[in-house]
């Protein structure tokens, strides 16, 4: 399984943080957040990770005609999240290669700092026809840490 | 408000029926179905209405490069739907005009025949650039009742 | 239809505002936001309306054992919202009665101030057994405008 | 990680099958199914697995006051699913222990028999207070294969 791989060319990188507040829509009749919604928060985390490094993912898709499709996801649920909780989504690139990018996530409850969930996603780079391609070179610097590249 | 209009060229038409079973994901912490999910069932109802009349909506979008975008929705919630309930979605075209199509829905609990919800959607016809257009003539017969057209 | 009613004891009230950013999960293959997701944003608007007036809706449900169940919703879609748009959700109580509360919403694109959608929800007051009840008197002041009550 | 564990008391068991048709709501602007929705289909698969073995999961929660909370999920995405595709969800219990149950899933496109995705979920048994407990003995036979128990 590629998610555990550590032979990346660069990474792991620095964490970014963003917040979400749990919506009523995201709960289920168990009174907790339904488990699929954590993957939506991972997506929010990825977008904010990119934004905090200067890349608007929406513009990347439009300008580069390139897509990061999810090939694999893994999530461990620790403490349940509940309606109206404010959660901090911590995100970083775990490994960045030409054809495969993996992100790592930690979701923490803001008030208690309890770990809610952690996970990983593995992404393949696709062109506008849905074919695997390599990550466009002119965008690579957004994903390569200055710290890491000095190493 | 266009939803109440009755000056349509054709309609109302015959009802179609299809079934869904309530998913855990569709409930919320009140123990009932979250209110936005009824609109997803309306969408299922529209697709099955078309299919039962011979039109696969997916193929329509692809072949005609035409889209039915929702301009307005209205839903009244009568009896709550709950997890694992089997629901019957009844759908019909309420009015069909060149630029505006309205659908009408009734959602009934299969076991008890209780009315769960009822609603309407109003759709505008868009071309692939998102501009208003007229409904393609070669697809009109799917939406015009033989019964109605004899009237 | 109750949504248009104006014989409320109090209201309409002042608007509250909150922001959301459109998630990838909220788009559909038309490249726009799927129409049911606007109802989720209405829910976010309601919760923030309450919070800005001092009432945490989560605590209200827990402490008063009272629920505001949606009896009716109406939404008009004006300009499509797209991925990564920042939207302002404006919310106010349109009318507040003992057994029925209606909220009104306007969703505006932050960047352009274009009106994206507008809508209303009508809520009935339920006790913990799901039976209609009256709104608990000790919480009424959160919904009655000082301005309105002077009228 | 428990998902890979094979020291279960019973299992793996026989597969059950059920079908879903992809909804427009489940697509995103990439034109494919949004990745979190596969977890909803896993949930559908679990419910139908139980039903086909004689256990209505809704009744189990109500009667046993016991909940199977997801502790971990893993999903690999092979071929994208698209709007209106009919998918077969194959589900089985991978391992069944007193406090931990793991399910395994394969999602196949009905028309082509292409593998769309595969995954696993690990569940902990919770009582009505959200505390870990053991699986109620009187329901165990639903999860123990006659074939397996003869082994």
> At residue A4, what are phi and psi to the nearest 5 degrees?
-90, 0
Instruction: Answer yes or no: are the C-beta atoms of C91 and C15 closer than 8 Å.
Output: yes
Q: Is the pLDDT of residue A4 over 50?
A: no
For B141, residues 6+ apart whose C-beta sits below 8 A from its C-beta are none
Residue D90 lies in a domain: yes
Sign of the torsion angle spanned by Cα atoms B90, A28, D40, C116: positive
- Which of D34, D40, D80, D85 is the best mutation test for C, with the most CBs of C within 10 A? D34
Instruction: State the pLDDT confidence band at C111, using cuts at 50, 70 and 90.
Output: very high
For D126, residues 6+ apart whose C-beta sits below 8 A from its C-beta are D66, D67, D68, D69, D132, D133
List the Cα angle A115/B23/D8 in 5-degree steps: 60
pLDDT digits (tens, 9 = 90+) for A66-111: 999 999 999 999 999 999 999 999 999 999 999 999 999 999 999 9
* Measured distance CA(D26)–CA(B43) in Å, rounded: 11
Instruction: State the pLDDT confidence band at B147, using cuts at 50, 70 and 90.
Output: low
* Measured distance CA(D42)–CA(D69) in Å, rounded: 13
Chain D residues within 8 A of A26 when measuring between CB atoms: none
Q: Is C14 left (phi over 0), alpha (psi -120 to 50) or beta?
A: beta
* Measured distance CA(A33)–CA(A7) in Å, rounded: 35
3-state secondary structure of A68: strand
Q: What string of H, E and C letters represents the secondary structure of D43-104?
A: HHHHHHHHHHCCCCHHHHHHHHCEEEEEEEEEEEECCCCCCCCEEEEEEEEEEECCCEEEEE
- Is the CB of C29 less than 8 angstroms away from the CB of D31? yes
Q: Which has the closest alpha carbon to D70: D10, D14, D2, D118?
A: D2
3-state secondary structure of D114: coil
Which helix H or strand E contains C40, and what residues bound it? Answer: helix C37-52
Nearest-by-CA chain B residue for C74: B74
Chain C residues within 8 A of B75 when measuring between CB atoms: 72-74
Q: What is the pLDDT of residue A147?
A: 53
Residue D150 lies in a domain: no
CA torsion B141-B142-B143-B147 (nearest 10°) is: 70
Residue B149 lies in a domain: no
For chain D, what is the radius of gyration of the CA atoms? Answer: 16
> At residue D90, what are phi and psi to the nearest 5 degrees?
-100, 130
* Measured distance CA(D99)–CA(D126) in Å, rounded: 9
- Cβ-Cβ pairs closer than 8 A, A with D, add up to 52
* Measured distance CA(A127)–CA(C57) in Å, rounded: 45
CA torsion B87-B92-B95-B99 (nearest 10°) is: 80
Which 8-state DSSP code applies to residue A58?
H
Q: What is the pLDDT of residue D5?
A: 43
Q: What is the pLDDT of residue A88?
A: 98
Could you give the ipTM of this predicted complex? 0.90
Q: Is the pLDDT of residue B3 over 50?
A: no
Q: What is the pLDDT of residue B5?
A: 43
* Measured distance CA(C85)–CA(C81) in Å, rounded: 7
Q: What is the pLDDT of residue C104?
A: 98
Mean pLDDT of B77-101: 97
Structural domain of A134 = 2-150
- Is the CB of B29 less than 8 angstroms away from the CB of A25? no
The number of folded domains in chain C is 1
- Report the residue from D43, D83, D84 with minimal CB separation from B25: D43
> At residue D5, what are phi and psi to the nearest 5 degrees?
-65, 145
Residue D147 lies in a domain: no
Instruction: Answer yes or no: are the C-beta atoms of D33 and D21 closer than 8 Å.
Output: no
CATH number of the domain that residue B131 is part of: 3.10.129.10
Nearest-by-CA chain A residue for B82: A29
Instruction: State the pLDDT confidence band at C55, using cuts at 50, 70 and 90.
Output: very high
Per-residue pLDDT 10s for chain D (151 aa) are 344 444 445 667 899 999 999 999 999 999 999 999 999 999 999 999 999 999 999 999 999 999 999 999 999 999 999 999 999 999 999 999 999 999 999 999 999 999 999 999 999 999 999 999 999 999 999 988 655 444 3
3-state secondary structure of B28: coil
C-alpha distance across the termini of chain B, in Å: 27
Q: What is the pLDDT of residue D9?
A: 52
3-state secondary structure of B52: helix
Q: What is the pLDDT of residue C146?
A: 57
Considering only the C-alpha atoms of chain A, give the largest distance between any 2 of them, rounded to a whole number of Å: 50
């Amino acid at each position: 399984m590629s998610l555990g791989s550590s032979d990346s060319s660069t990474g792991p990188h620095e964490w970014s943080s963003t917040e979400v507040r749990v919506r009523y829509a995201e709960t289920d009749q168990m009174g907790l957040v339904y488990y699929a919604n954590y993957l939506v928060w991972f997506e929010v985390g990825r977008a904010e990770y990119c934004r905090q490094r200067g890349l608007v993912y929406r513009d990347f898709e439009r300008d580069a005609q390139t897509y990061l499709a999810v090939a694999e996801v893994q999530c461990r649920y620790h403490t349940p999240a509940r309606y109206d909780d404010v959660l901090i989504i911590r995100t970083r690139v775990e490994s960045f290669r030409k054809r495969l990018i993996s992100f790592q996530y930690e979701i923490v409850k803001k008030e208690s700092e309890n770990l809610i969930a952690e996970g990983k996603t593995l992404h393949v780079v696709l062109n506008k026809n849905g074919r695997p391609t390599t990550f466009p070179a002119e965008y690579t610097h957004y994903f390569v840490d200055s710290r890491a590249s000095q190493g």
